Amino acid sequence: MTSAPLPPDEYARLLDLARYQILDTPPEEAFDRITRLAARLLNAPVAFINFVDQYRQWSKATSGPGDTTAPRRDSVCAWTILEAEPMVIENAHIDPRFTHNPMVTGEPHIHMYAGAPLTTPAGHRIGTLCVTDDQPHSLTPEDLQALQDLAALVVGELELRARNLELSRELNAQQRRNADLKRGLDHAQVLEGVAGLMDLDLTPETMTLNASALLAGALSADYIGLLIFEEEGLRVEAAHLNPRLPQAITDLPTQRPDWPNSVTWSLKTLSQPLYLNDYPGHPGALTTGVDSGVQQIAWLPLGTRSGVTSLLMSVRLRDNPVAHWRGSDRALLEAVGRSIRSTLDRRLEMDLSYQEARHDTLTGLLNRRAQEEDLTRRQQGSTPFLLAGLDLDGLKALNDHEGHAQGDKLLQVFARTLSVALGNAGEVYRLGGDEFVVLSSTDEDTVHEAVDTAVMAARQVGALRGASVGIAHSSEGRGVELLALADERMYAVKRRRQAMRQQVALEQR
């Protein structure tokens, strides 16, 4: 016996089937009527409406003896849903796919089978309308057309049933609206609290976690967590944990090996909120979550910033008194999501603008503003540091003879090399022209060696005599005093070098 392969759209097909909420429901006359018509029109002793889910073939309606509910591996209908046209088996006993199938070899056995796929408006084949006979039974093209027409009626009944289910959920709208009004007051308080968090000086992650925690009571959530997709994988930070949660849920952040097989992992690119009222019925549900009693999950995308994607995940357990995600729940979640996204975007823009304002456009180094801010910050601490003032010797001559473009290139090479040579030992700033400053907690020799390396690299671009360096230590002054002291020592070095060059020139005459 050969089991049918999975359709290429299996995941989407199962989602479409789940949308109808038809599986394991009691008999319904509308579907029974269609099977009776199918049996009569095709003169067949048996007719079925079968649905094929992840693990089985389940029979919704039957006309005639027998029950075709069976494991999917034994499902004849699983072959029918592979194609858009009806499948006809004139003699199942000689078909290699079904020779050893229990439905063919058992009693009453199948000799002839004809099935038409139930194709949804989305184009997914979720089951079949089929007829069988335990005797040879030929079918005409008119018979097959009738079978397809009846299959279309089944789908029409499914759509009508789905709409009626949706309508029935809205029948007590007034009562729910009254309840929603009360919840609306609670939600307004939550939004007010979230708005207050937006103005606090918190890290984006802390602000998001605190805002999420405020949601727990208003949503009757058993768990709220922040999903953070980073380069190394998925990280989970819990914002709210109900004390009655099973250990498997409270340990959720450590269960990363399960994530790649879950529906959650597939939501990294989610752009709209996603709400599940029946998590156990979802094909991507984790066994750990289902066994722990997870019933409802809502995912709220918070966007991607600086390569990090985040989602808010709210969970309700099976015994939660709130049976589904209500309209007011969704409105609150999405309003909080908008507030969080807006704040995170605004902070990112502010951070980017701030960083741009702190950098020199030519060299990419930190600029004068950054130097003033960082010097103030360092002097507020207790760690000793040094400030080195640098001035390049010979850049003006290079600009005059080879042009400012070449001079700019030399500045860029010098700046990059000095920054790399210092590494984590200090920060380099360009104050303007050929003036630089280094703030470092290392020793003077390290700074001088880094400057010498940068000068050698810059000489590959153009003639540069060197760089004059003046160093002042944090114990010698504060703010502009320290900078003035370093400048004074730097210019003293420059004057000595100029005097030496003049002396050499006189001796060479």
Q: Which domains does the chain have, with CATH numbers?
A: 10-167 (3.30.450.40), 179-354 (3.30.450.40), 368-508 (3.30.70.270)
Provide the pLDDT for residue 357.
72
Tell me the mean pLDDT in the region 290-316. 84
Distances (CA, A) of 491 to 198, 199, 296, 434, 498: 49, 47, 72, 13, 10
4 with 74: CB under 8 angstroms? no
Lowest mean pLDDT among 147-151, 218-222, 317-321, 354-358: 354-358
CA–CA distance, 253 with 133 (Å, rounded to integer): 55
55-64, 218-227, 265-274, 376-385: which is most confident? 55-64
Tell me the mean pLDDT in the region 162-179. 74
How far is residue 129 CA from its own chain's centroid?
Answer: 40
User: Which comes out higher in pLDDT, residue 355 or 417?
Assistant: 417
φ, ψ at 73 (rounded to 5°): -65, -25
Given a cut of 70, whether residue 349 has pLDDT beyond it is no
Amino acid letter at 239? A
Q: What does the pLDDT look like over 426-475, one tens digit per residue? A: 899 998 888 999 999 888 999 999 999 999 988 888 888 888 999 999 88
Q: What does the pLDDT look like over 375-405, one tens digit per residue? A: 988 988 888 999 999 988 888 888 888 888 8
Q: What does the pLDDT look like over 51-105, one tens digit per residue? A: 999 999 999 999 998 888 999 999 999 999 999 999 999 999 999 999 888 888 8
Provide the pLDDT for residue 348.
58
Q: Give 210's pLDDT tier (boundaries 50, 70, 90).
A: confident
Tell me the mean pLDDT in the region 204-210. 73
> Mean of the per-residue pLDDT values for the chain?
85
Q: Give 508's pLDDT tier (boundaries 50, 70, 90).
A: low
Q: Give 187's pLDDT tier (boundaries 50, 70, 90).
A: low
Peptide bond into 108 cis (omega under 30): yes
Provide the pLDDT for residue 172.
62
Q: How far apart are the first and last CA of the chain?
A: 106
Given a cut of 60, whether residue 251 has pLDDT beyond it is yes
